Amino acid sequence: MHINLDGQKISLATLRNIWSAPVDITLGESAKKKVAESCAQVAAVVAKGDSVYGVNTGFGQLAKVRIGADDLTTLQENLIRSHSVGVGQPLADEVVRLTMAMKVIALARGFSGVRPALIDRLCEMLRQDLLPVIPSKGSVGASGDLAPLAHLAGTLLGIGTLRRKGEAVNAAEALSDAGLQPMVLGPKEGLALLNGTQVSTALALAALFRAEHTLAAAVTAGAMSSDAIKGSDTPFDHQIQDVRGHAGQIAVAQQLRELMHGSEIRASHVNCSRVQDPYSVRCQPQVMGACLGVMEHAATVLEVEANAATDNPLVFSETNSILSGGNFHAEPVAFIADYLALAIAEIGSLSERRIALLIDSHLSELPAFLVKDSGLNSGFMMAQVTAAALVSENKTLAHPASVDSIPTSANQEDHVSMATFAARRLHDILDNVEYIVAIELLAASQGVEFHLPKKTSELLARALQQIRELSAGYDQDRSLATDIESVARSIDAGSFCNFAAPILPSMKQ
């Protein structure tokens, strides 16, 4: 995909595309002009000898230390070296790619005082799919994502490690092989690379996109479970949703109606004696709709943040001013990550309750534990236990990170957002929920097939076929571990999005 940055806002759908595949970004003429004007303003300040934070001063608590003109390049390079102290497993390539692209977007707005050549270098690395190896831990989300972005910035200087075609290579060697020389930084350029919320935002966006995949699979699983237990689709009637008015609830109910439309199983019990289904079935529009509402709100906030100038200080060439502020503070991202954690965990919680319903013969009226000859066979008994364990684990993981703060830099940076951890842990929650929903899809498929020769709906039959391509029907006891893993990976890949794409924030634009 090619993107020409020329002052336009980058959409959520485009950000999703950057996350999913390599990207070619170039600067338009008006963007180049604005970047050059900003850079010229920084050069003028240096020539004049005015004291400006991060241009000719130390950093953080050392901001009062004045740096001589001969040491300005060393100042920026030392900043990158000293801040490259991240630890832990490297960030996923798609998160790094998204981070780099958003750094380009931020710098291209022309408020950072960097040279166009610096942005061009980042674009060239993206074009050649040269991705920095960035440790996942070490940021408190203010002043921006300093440590992880330092590891990104270091690779421009030939420091650290780059991934080339999936292989980790010494950065200097990788640059040389790509026909690129290590850069020499100008005034403020190191600080502009390090300041910013791009890592936190990339982690949160990647989690949002994965959550969309999971929501789609969970709505599909919920419809299939409803059909398997001969549940009613009356609670999904539009009249019920309309009088409450929440858009997410209305949208999810419509998807559930469409998924169940034409089911022979549903038609067989229209006039049955059951009055109401358990909440995990009946209240799907209310719960899943609320989760969708959280995702919609997250999408709005993260799209703004992805297009934001989060550097410090910021250079305003139109007013000939360089202003220090706090746009690097990632509190909006931290709040959204915490909000998403609640929604993602709830998707798993509701799914696990439907698994428990399916295996309980007294409630589902299906064979106990979804297997013939139960007693001799244990069926889905332990699969539900696994789901329960994961739901309980998510209760701890969903605890808000943004309520925590710890002072850094000798109390100069005395309140931080913890946005990076808030967003990073979303992926642990998502891993768990993908497994939970995978178990429900397997269990619901088993339940639906017990009703043969009565058939489920056409859409759910297609979903069932997808599942059966990964996991055969359960006739007698066997390990489901590989089956669960396969279906979970299918969920992660977005294989069920076609059953709910119209309601997903990044796919309906």
Catalytic residue numbers read 53
CA distance 294 to 363: 31
CA distance 239 to 145: 47
3-class DSSP string for 94-133: HHHHHHHHHHHHHHHCCCCCCCHHHHHHHHHHHHCCEEEC
- Residue 327's SS3 state is coil
How far apart CA 210 and CA 402 sit, in angstroms, is: 21
Backbone angles phi, psi at 300, to 5 degrees: -65, -50
Q: In residues, how long is the chain?
A: 509
Q: How many angstroms separate the Cα of 484 from the Cα of each of 39, 379, 433, 476? A: 54, 14, 12, 16
Instruction: Give the span between the Cα atoms of 355 and 106, in whole angstroms.
Output: 45
Half-sphere exposure of 83 (CA within 13 A, CB side): 28
| Distance (Å, whole) CA 505 – CA 509 | 7
Q: Return d(Cα 59, Cα 197) in angstroms, integer.
A: 18
For residues 476 and 446, is the Cβ–Cβ distance under 8 A? no
Give the distance, in angstroms, between the CA of residue 439 and the centroid of all CA atoms in the same chain.
22
Nearest to 288 by CA among 337, 334, 253: 253
